[in-house]
Amino acid sequence: MKHTLSPQRYLILLAVMLSASVGDTLLSHGMKQVGPVSIAHLGMLLVAMRNPWVVTGILCLLGFFASYLTALSWADLTFVLPATAFGYVVVAFLSKYWLHEAVSAYRWAGIVLIVCGVGFVANGPSLTQHPPVDESADVLTGGSK
């Protein structure tokens, strides 16, 4: 049976794709303002927590984890993971157009491969249908009983 997703669930997947990469980019921007943190000066991490870019980055990453867990509650891991990989593509675009970093031909080739990979699974079913199992059956050993 083909599982199709509601528009709201596509929004959750969009949040999975965007929030991690935006969060990482914000953290990177903020930590460049804070300066290097060494093991001997871990107190600098507390200073970093007062930087608005760092705080927004952490909030984005919390949002990523929440949307990732939500997606895993109604879709397969092998369906959700390529969506998380799409974040690398977003990072490449953010680094080129916002941070003005050079993106090599290899990276563009990598982006094309990831987009193809995401396209493959996005066209398929989102969840494997299992026959109803005993409540006590363990998810990890479901097939070995």
Partner 1 sequence: MIAAAPVEVSVFETWATILTVAATAVAGDVLTAAAMRRIGDLDIIRARSGLAGAVWAVVWNPLFLLGVLSMAVSFFSLLFTLSNVEVSLAAPASASLTFLGNAFAAKLFLKENVDRRRWLAALFVCAGVFLLSK
The contact set with partner 1 (CB under 8 A) reads 8, 36-37, 69-70, 72-74, 76-82, 85, 88, 92, 104, 106-107, 109-114, 116-118, 120-121, 123-125, 128, 130, 139-140, 142-143
Taking the least distance from each CB to partner 1, the nearer of 46 and 139 is 139
CB 76, min distance to partner 1, A: 5
In three-state secondary structure terms, 43 is coil
CB of 56 to partner 1, least distance (A): 20
φ, ψ for residue 123, nearest 5 deg: -85, -10
Question: Residue 85 and residue 80: Cα distance in Å, rounded?
Answer: 9
Structural element, H or E, at residue 144: none
Radius of gyration of the chain, Cα coordinates, nearest whole angstrom: 19
Q: Which is nearer to partner 1, 42 or 140 (CB)?
A: 140
Residue 1 CA to residue 105 CA, distance in Å, equals 40
Closer by beta carbon to partner 1, 53 or else 79: 79
